[in-house]
Amino acid sequence: MDHFALWLAAFFTLGIYSFLYKDNPWYKLCEAIFVGISAGYWVVTLFWDNFHGKFWVHKFEDWWLWIGAALGVLMLMRLFPKIGWISRWALAFIVGATSGLWMMNYFSSNIMRQVQDAVLPLFGTGFEASFGAILANIVVAVGTIAGLVYFFFSKEHKGVFGGTARVGILFLMVTFGASFGYTVMGRMSLLIGRIDFLFSDWLGLIR
Amino acid sequence: MSTRTKEILVVAIVAALFLIFYLRKVFGAPPVLFPGTVSILVVSVIGLSLLWILIRTLAGRYVERRVVFLYVGIAVTLPLFMTLSQKVSVAPEVQGVFSSFEKLSAGSKVLVSFDYDPPSAPELQPMAEACLYYCFEHDLKVIIMGLWPQGPMQANLALQKVLNDERISQKNLQYGVDYVNLGFQAGNEFVIQRMGSEFRSMFPADFRGTPYEEIPLVTNIRNFSNIDYSFNIGSGYPGTREWVQIAVDRYGLKLGAGNTAVQTTEMYPYLRAGQLAGIVGGMSGAAEFEFLTKWIGNATKFMLAQSVAHMIVISFVIIGNVAFFVGRRTRERKS
Amino acid sequence: MRRAVPLVITTIVGATFVIRYFIPHYPFNRLNDWFSDWFAIVAACAIVLGALNLMRISIQKVVRGKPAWGYSLVTIVAFLLITIVGLAAGREYRGPDTAFSWLYNNTYSPLSSSMFAILAFFVASASYRAFRARNLEATLLLLAAFFVMLGRVPVGYVLSSFMPDGYRLTDLAVWIMNVPNTAGQRAIMIGIALGIVSTSVRVIVGIERTYLGGD
Question: What is C29-98 written as a DSSP string?
Answer: HHHHHHHHHHHHHHHHHHHHHHHHHHHHHHHHHHHTT-TTHHHHHHHHHHHHHHHHHHHHT-TTTTSTTS
Contact with chain B for residue C133, Cβ under 8 A: yes
> What is the C-alpha to C-alpha distance for residues B259 and B262, in angstroms, rounded to an integer?
8
* ipTM attached to this prediction: 0.90
Residues of chain A below pLDDT 70: 1, 58-60
What percent of chain B shows pLDDT beyond 90?
70
**Residue in A41, A88, A188 nearest the CB of C212:** A88
Q: Closest Cα of chain A to C177: distance in Å?
A: 7
Residues C150 and B317: their CA atoms lie apart, in Å, by 14
* Residues in B touching A205 (Cβ below 8 Å): 21, 25, 31-32, 81
Average pLDDT, chain B: 92
Mean pLDDT of chain C: 92
Q: How many angstroms away from the CA of C30 is the closest CA of chain B?
A: 10
| pLDDT at residue number B164 | 94
Q: Which of B162-176, C40-54, C156-170 has the lowest mean pLDDT?
A: C156-170
Residue type at C188 in one-letter notation? I
Give the B window 171-210 contacts with C, CB below 8 Å: 185-188, 190-191, 193-194, 197-198, 201-202, 205, 207-209
Alpha-carbon gap, residue C120 to C113, rounded angstroms: 12
In chain A, which residues have their Cβ closer than 8 Å to the Cβ of C44? Answer: 46, 50-51, 72
Give the gap in angstroms from C-alpha A12 to the nearest C-alpha of chain B: 14
> Is pLDDT larger for residue B328 or for residue B21?
B21
Which residues does residue B111 pair with via DSSP β-bridges, in sequence order? B143, B230
Residue C215 has pLDDT above 60, yes or no: no
pLDDT at res. B327: 83
**How close B283 comes to chain A (CA, Å)?**
6
**pLDDT band, residue B237 (cuts 50/70/90):** very high
The predicted model gives C184-210 an average pLDDT of 95
Write down the pLDDT at residue B260.
96
DSSP code for B113? E
Q: What is the pLDDT of residue C214?
A: 65
What's the pLDDT score for residue B317?
Answer: 93
Tell which A residues from 3 to 32 touch C, by Cβ distance under 8 Å.
5-6, 8-10, 12-13, 16-17, 19-20, 28-32
pLDDT at residue B169 tops 60: yes
**Do B7 and A25 meet the contact criterion of CB atoms below 8 Å apart?**
no
**Residues B261 and A185 sit within 8 Å (Cβ to Cβ):** yes
Q: To the nearest 10°, report the CA torsion of A117, A123, A125, A129.
A: 100
Q: Which residues of C touch B118 (CB under 8 A)?
A: 108-110, 112-113
Whether the model clears a pTM of 0.90, i.e. scores above it, the answer is yes
Quick check: B254 pLDDT over 90? yes
Pick from C7, C8, C10, C22 the residue to mutate for testing the A interface (most A CBs within 10 Å).
Answer: C10
Quote the longest CA-to-CA distance of chain A: 72
Question: What is the helix (H) or strand (E) element at residue B21, kind and residue range?
Answer: helix B3-26
At C67-76, the pLDDT tens digits run 999 999 999 9
User: Taking residues C120-137, what's their average pLDDT?
Assistant: 90
Mean pLDDT of B244-251: 96
**Residue B28 clears pLDDT 80, i.e. is over it:** yes
Neighbors of chain C with 3 or more C-beta pairs under 8 Å: A, B
Q: Is the pLDDT of residue B86 over 80?
A: no
Q: Which of B283, B291, B257, B332 is nearest to B97 (CA)?
A: B257
Which run of H or of E encompasses B299? helix B298-334
d(CA A120, CA A127): 12
| CA–CA separation, B82 and C154 (whole Å) | 15
Backbone dihedral angles phi then psi of residue B232, each to the nearest 5 degrees: -100, 125
Q: Tell me which residue of A135, B233, A175 sits closest to C191, measured CA to CA.
A: A175
Sign, CA dihedral B96-B99-B103-B107, equals positive
Closest residue of chain C to B149, computed from CA coordinates = C44
Using CA atoms, how far apart are residues B238 and B154, in angstroms rounded to an integer?
A: 16
- Count chain A–chain B contacts defined by CB atoms under 8 A: 166
pLDDT at C165: 87
Segment B90-117, tens digit of pLDDT: 999 999 999 999 999 999 999 999 999 9
Whether pLDDT at B289 is above 90: yes
d(CA C44, CA A16) in angstroms, rounded, equals 29
Long-range contacts of C192-197 (CB under 8 A, 24+ apart): C192/A106, C192/A110, C193/A106, C193/A107, C193/A110, C193/A111, C194/A111, C196/A102, C196/A103, C196/A106, C197/A103, C197/A106, C197/A107, C197/A111
Helix (H) / strand (E) containing B255: strand B255-259
